[in-house]
A = this chain, B = another copy of it.
Amino acid sequence: MSAEMKWWGWGDADRRLDLPPAAVTALREELGVEPQDAGEPAALEQVSLPESRPISDAVRSAASEVLDGREDRLRRAAGRSYPDLVRLRSGCLESAPDAILRPPDASGVEAVLGACAEHGVAVVPYGGGTSVVGGLDAVGDGHDAVVSLDLAHLRSVDLDVRSLTATLGPGLSGPDAERALNALGATIGHFPQSFEEATIGGFAATRSAGQASSGYGRFDEVVTAIELTAPVGRLRTRRIPHTAAGPALRELVLGSEGTLGAITEVSCRVRPAPAVRHYEGWMAEDFEAGREIVRGLAQHHEAPDVLRLSDEEETRVSLELAGTDGLQKRALDAYLSLRRRQGGCLMICGWEGGAESVRRRRSLGQTRLRLGGAVPLGGSVGRSWERNRYGGPYLRDELMNLGVMVETLETAHTWSRLDELYRAVSAALRGALGERSIVMCHVSHAYPDGASIYFTFFARARRGEELEQWRVAKTAACEAIVATEGTITHHHAVGRDHAPYMRAEVGELGLDALRAVKERLDPAGIMNPGKLLPAR
């Protein structure tokens, strides 16, 4: 099992990300952040939690392991969105689970859910605790208590080498699963930014997409079978490559975010662990030219396994924040000016697989990149990105220490409407955050018919009003997405933050269909209340 995350932020408490002092100065200047805006999180012993409400003995005995210490509850009280971190760092939490139940296996989960349904206890399934959309909030919704259902003990690994599928327990973290499969020569190839902390169950429950999903497929694309343990019993889909036997129940469980039950087993396609991984940087003339390259790669089925394109702003800020002495930036500038190019948009292209396959596909991709006017930056830029691929949330912690608001959100649209969506969301965020803000974006996942765009935004955090400041920006962005008919989320899921937009996303009848399923599988309404579905 991985070490626990630091309680107030991301990842390993001993690992800090050092920002170049020049970059800190420039960023403060740009955002109007003063040195006195800096602040550290509250001390662990100062954190206040609501009193724990009693959990019936029947529920306690159904779970073979119950944790209800203050730190245990604190550690499962929130996900890792910006508002979550604001609340955690403040040391004052308005909600937390009353206890943590940690059953030994799927039967234990079934027993726990049965007991909770009988005794009116709401249940928040818990994997890695990395939700960035409020998916872990301890919402009781009228129930007497709320428990966190920690799936950490469900860690089985069963590889079918011939069929290249693995059947996995939901409690395995990304690195746990990859280590176990790598030892057998296989990989899932699912590497979201949350990889180091998130779990297999969470990947499935939220339809996670990873940095290499252009090549390996999103997690929901590689899942071939799933088991859901609901309060009324277990639902499992067959372990087969495909079926036309009616609507896809697997696709009803994927993305259900704990609202129907807990995912207790996942079968997914794996690939042979790649012999070669080659990542490299490219520079596109501008965001539009870069998008055309990405579109061409996707539509010709020649996309690299990793394919990212930053807009001008993200390119500028990434280069500013990267490298400890700006050397890389200077080398890059020199290189680009030799090629008579200034600025532009950074692309990361990565190929993985057998040596011959990588050589062939890379050659195809490079041809299209060059045709689109992109300039190669070489492997060092790719390796630099690869080294820092999971670093974003560490950076966020450092920026929050400085007094910076940092948040991300993502959406997707068809190629015909992607620019419209990009402009609308950019304008909405800039409007909400004011002039002294940074709003930047990258194309994170490409399809033949469109792409996902991922925004990161910075502003000076308004001390004491962080949540309100966040809500204004988030609302503006969401409304812009809805108005442009994009999706409210491409891979962060719905949780509590996006639930109000689900009506626009799927319509009243779509909500009705989802509610009908929920009422059948979870008639007592105990499963992850307040998430996914909007209040009526």
A172 within 8 A of B: no
A445 within 8 A of B: yes
Bound-complex Cα distance A494 to B487 (A): 32
Nearest-CB distance from A72 to chain B (Å)?
Answer: 29
Please name the residue on chain B nearest to A485 by beta carbon.
B238
Q: Which of B490, B494, B515, B521 contacts A509 (CB 8 A)?
A: B521
Please name the residue on chain B nearest to A161 by beta carbon.
B416
Nearest-CB distance from A231 to chain B (Å)?
Answer: 11
Q: Render A515-536 as a binary contact track against B, CB cut-off 8 A, 1 for contact.
A: 1110111000000000010000
Nearest-CB distance from A290 to chain B (Å)?
Answer: 16
Q: List 6 A-B contacts (CB under 8 A).
A: A162-B295, A165-B449, A220-B248, A235-B506, A245-B502, A246-B256
Q: Which of A7-15, A96-104, A380-388, A407-415 forms part of the interface with chain B?
A: A407-415
B246 touches A502 (CB 8 A): yes
- Given A238-B485, A487-B238: A246 touches B448 (CB 8 Å cut-off): no
A246 touches B414 (CB 8 A): no
Which residues of A in the span 401-447 have a Cβ within 8 Å of any Cβ on B?
A: 412-416, 445, 447
Bound-complex Cα distance A257 to B248 (A): 12
Query: Which 5 residue pairs are nearest across A and B when measured between Cβ atoms?
Result: A251-B251, A241-B450, A516-B520, A243-B487, A163-B414
Q: Which residues of B contact A239 (CB under 8 A)?
A: 414, 485
Which residues of A in the span 235-262 have a Cβ within 8 Å of any Cβ on B?
A: 235-249, 251-257
A160 within 8 A of B: yes
Q: Which residues of B contact A519 (CB under 8 A)?
A: 516
Q: A238-B485, A300-B357 are in contact. List 11 more A-B contacts (CB 8 A).
A: A237-B506, A241-B447, A243-B505, A244-B494, A246-B502, A247-B254, A247-B255, A269-B448, A360-B360, A516-B517, A516-B519
A451 within 8 A of B: yes
Bound-complex Cα distance A251 to B249 (A): 8
